[in-house]
């Protein structure tokens, strides 16, 4: 449907904006000094979209993958949660494998070759994420941009989803890690680790924390931009105290980061937890802790909440799990509680 609007009036006359909106196509608009020109352009554009299906010399069916990727990141990914957009920006670098080809030229065979290449470089979970991003670009192009093509990811085999990792620290390991964290080149690594252990936040959520998000009186962290839905994370007294230790004596802006520098590198903006990566891994090594990653701090917090009697629904809310099934992976930690429960009826019938 075409519409003509008057944008402004001046001594030189009116300025007209012609806009064409047709379902399945991006909205098109252009300004003219004469209403007759605006009407003519709108009619011609609408006719071209309804008959030919596109405007200009290049059909959307000949869209280059590079253009599709940039369009997706700018128009679709940018509207997602900040953490998701940052992750997709980072992931998109691996998809440059398809540069120089049109969307139609990327076949299932080529997608499978990409899968094998990535499988030799990274873990299966990362390969799955890369394929999912590629698939979503095609889904968006087909449904929203009017590109007539097929999704090459839809019929290829994806790597088997690895079992969920569940490594958590013992009490002795926690003590050793915190002791060693004070010796790292990041002076606030200790505070970061302690906060993660007491909140179960994702590492990127904790590292990107700003002062605006902290309610000291209410003992709450307000997380609006998360991997799933916004949530409010309760804080223990030690967590509040460790945050209070970081408050600058000279004052601060509410938008300042708690852990990151005032103007962090782009790498740290995209993946905030990378700010602590090297220092954290060094502390883990000095503490003689095997097979432990930064994300396992989150598992440690969840595990101790479960073992201390916090119900699964509450744990799920604190962690920001979208479904309770994600929290169910910790239920084996309740085995001792279950044994004590059935021991209470051990005398039945005796």
Which of 57-71, 193-207, 265-279 tops mean pLDDT? Answer: 193-207
Q: Which residues, in sequence order, are bridge partners of residue 220?
A: 215, 234
* Reported confidence tier of residue 188, pLDDT bands at 50, 70, 90: very high
Residues 158 and 115 sit within 8 Å (Cβ to Cβ):
yes
Residues 122 and 162 sit within 8 Å (Cβ to Cβ):
no
Identical fold for domains 61-144 and 171-339, yes or no, is: no
**What is the structure's pLDDT at 110?**
95
Structure tokens of 40? 């003519």
Q: What tens digit of pLDDT does each residue of 230-269 get?
A: 889 999 999 999 999 998 877 778 888 999 988 888 888 8
User: Which active-site residues does the annotation give?
Assistant: 202, 227, 295, 298, 321, 330
Structure tokens of 89? 């920006």
**What is the structure's pLDDT at 59?**
56
Instruction: Decide: helix, strand or coil at residue 223.
Output: strand
**What is the structure's pLDDT at 60?**
60
Domain 61-144 has CATH 2.60.40: no
Give the closest residue to 213 by CA, choosing from 257, 169, 249. Answer: 257
171-339: CATH number: 1.10.443.10
Q: What tens digit of pLDDT does each residue of 307-332 get?
A: 888 888 888 888 888 888 778 777 77
Instruction: Compute the residue count for the chain.
Output: 350
Q: Give the pLDDT mean for 273-291.
A: 93
Residue ranges per structural domain of the chain: 2-57, 61-144, 171-339
Q: Mind giving me the DSSP string for 69-87?
A: HHHHHHHTGGGS-HHHHHH
Q: What's the rounded Cα separation, in Å, for the pair 325 and 58?
A: 47
Residues 200 and 302 sit within 8 Å (Cβ to Cβ):
yes
């Amino acid at each position: 449907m075409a519409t003509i609007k008057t944008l402004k009036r001046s001594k030189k006359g009116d300025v007209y904006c012609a806009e064409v909106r047709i379902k399945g196509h991006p909205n098109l608009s252009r300004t003219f000094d004469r209403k007759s020109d605006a009407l003519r352009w709108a009619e011609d554009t609408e006719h071209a979209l309804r008959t030919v299906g596109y405007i200009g010399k290049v059909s959307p069916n000949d869209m280059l993958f590079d253009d599709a990727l940039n369009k997706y990141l700018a128009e679709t990914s940018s509207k997602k949660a900040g953490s998701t957009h940052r992750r997709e920006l980072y992931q998109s670098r691996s998809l440059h494998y398809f540069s120089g080809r049109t969307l139609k030229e990327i076949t299932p065979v080529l997608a499978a070759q990409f899968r094998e290449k990535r499988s030799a470089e990274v873990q299966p979970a990362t390969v799955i994420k890369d394929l999912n991003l590629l698939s979503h670009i095609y889904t968006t192009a087909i449904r929203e941009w009017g590109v007539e093509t097929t999704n090459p990811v839809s019929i290829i085999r994806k790597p088997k989803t690895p079992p969920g990792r569940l490594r958590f620290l013992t009490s002795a390991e926690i003590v050793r890690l915190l002791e060693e964290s004070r010796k790292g080149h990041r002076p606030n690594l200790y505070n970061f680790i302690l906060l993660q252990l007491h909140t179960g936040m994702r590492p990127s959520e904790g590292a990107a924390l700003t002062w605006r998000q902290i309610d000291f009186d209410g003992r709450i962290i307000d997380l609006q931009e998360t991997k799933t839905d916004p949530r409010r994370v309760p804080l223990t007294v030690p967590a509040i105290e460790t945050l209070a230790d970081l408050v600058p004596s000279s004052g601060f802006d509410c938008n300042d980061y708690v852990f990151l520098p005032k103007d962090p590198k782009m790498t740290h903006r995209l993946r905030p937890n990378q700010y602590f990566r090297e220092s954290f891994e060094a502390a883990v090594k000095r503490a003689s802790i095997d097979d432990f990653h930064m994300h396992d701090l989150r598992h440690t917090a969840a595990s101790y909440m479960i073992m201390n009697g916090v119900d699964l629904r509450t744990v799920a809310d604190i962690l920001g799990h979208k479904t309770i099934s994600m929290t169910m992976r910790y239920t084996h930690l309740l085995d001792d509680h279950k044994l004590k429960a059935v021991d209470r009826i051990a005398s039945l019938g005796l």
